[in-house]
Amino acid sequence: MTHAVPVPHSFYRLASPHYFYEQSGRLLPWLAAVTLVLFLTGLVWGLAFAPADYQQGNGFRIMYVHVPAAVFSMSVYVAMAVAGGIGLIWRLKVAAMVARSCAPIGAAFTFLALVTGSLWGKPMWGAWWVWDARLTSELILLFLYLGYMALQEAIEERDTADRASAVLALVGLINIPIIHYSVEWWYTLHQGATILKLGRPSIAPAMLWPLLVMLAAYGLLALLVVLLRTRNEVLERKLNI
């Protein structure tokens, strides 16, 4: 018979579904308000006031939707895998619920990144889609999210579904560095990193600041949706007991 690894003391309160539900409820109104303000600020700033790119003209403005979606398609997957791993090792139900709640928003971000990438790529590359390393690995990420959600639904017993999907998420982590470093490891139409790199970002400050605002907005949106879905998970599992 297997035994769970002892839970660190600092996790005890966070491991309580009741505590999580209570504390997240207090945070949600503030989080929703800040998220809305950041989205409105970032979109208006980026789409209306940022200067046009000297090569792409106004077509570059899709960056303010595409880049944050691509960044958080990967970030949410990492969060899902880490939460699933915590649930798998320490048997924390809230962690498993968080992992389950991450999948739909991560899949939505990935789909949005693929669609906006195609819209951006058509005028820049002359094609809606090319099978280069970055695009292919991002598509694989979407399949990983869909596979995770399908596995969750395919297994009726909830604890078993959480453990199986956590293993899948952890295995799928290998795809994250492939997506990130694909532009360096292989020939690809994508440009290299302009923000997340050593040294100063290679993007004009007038274009960078609205992008940073949009990155913050997407991050808070992801957190908001995960909290809402996890709260629903807490209620659903409580009613099923």
Which tens digit of pLDDT belongs to each residue from 153-174?
Answer: 999 999 999 999 999 999 999 9
What the block records as the tokens of 239 is 């009613």
Q: What is the pLDDT of residue 202?
A: 66
What span, in angstroms and rounded, lies between the C-alpha atoms of 82 and 24? 20
Whether residue 197 is predicted with pLDDT greater than 80 in this model: the reply is no
- The number of residues in the chain equals 241
How do the domains of the chain map onto residue ranges? 14-195+202-240
Whether residue 5 is predicted with pLDDT greater than 90 in this model: the reply is no
What span, in angstroms and rounded, lies between the C-alpha atoms of 162 and 145? 14
pLDDT > 90 in the chain, percent: 71
Q: What is the pLDDT of residue 8?
A: 56
CA nearest neighbour of 194 among 208, 215, 175 = 208
pLDDT band per the 50, 70, 90 thresholds, residue 55 = confident
What span, in angstroms and rounded, lies between the C-alpha atoms of 166 and 90? 12
Asked if 63 contacts 211 with a C-beta cutoff of 8 angstroms, the reply is yes
Q: What is the pLDDT of residue 2?
A: 46
What span, in angstroms and rounded, lies between the C-alpha atoms of 93 and 166? 12
Whether residue 94 is predicted with pLDDT greater than 70 in this model: the reply is yes
- The mean of the pLDDT values for the chain is 90
pLDDT, greater one: 145 or 192? 145
pLDDT band per the 50, 70, 90 thresholds, residue 213 = very high
Tokens 């809402």 sit at which residue? 228
What the block records as the tokens of 226 is 């995960």
What span, in angstroms and rounded, lies between the C-alpha atoms of 180 and 79? 16
pLDDT band per the 50, 70, 90 thresholds, residue 194 = low
Asked if 27 contacts 110 with a C-beta cutoff of 8 angstroms, the reply is no
pLDDT band per the 50, 70, 90 thresholds, residue 200 = low
pLDDT > 70 in the chain, percent: 88
Asked if 50 contacts 61 with a C-beta cutoff of 8 angstroms, the reply is yes
What span, in angstroms and rounded, lies between the C-alpha atoms of 84 and 154? 17
Asked if 72 contacts 139 with a C-beta cutoff of 8 angstroms, the reply is no
pLDDT digits (tens, 9 = 90+) for 118-133: 999 888 888 888 888 8
What span, in angstroms and rounded, lies between the C-alpha atoms of 236 and 241? 9
Asked if 28 contacts 226 with a C-beta cutoff of 8 angstroms, the reply is no
pLDDT, greater one: 3 or 82? 82
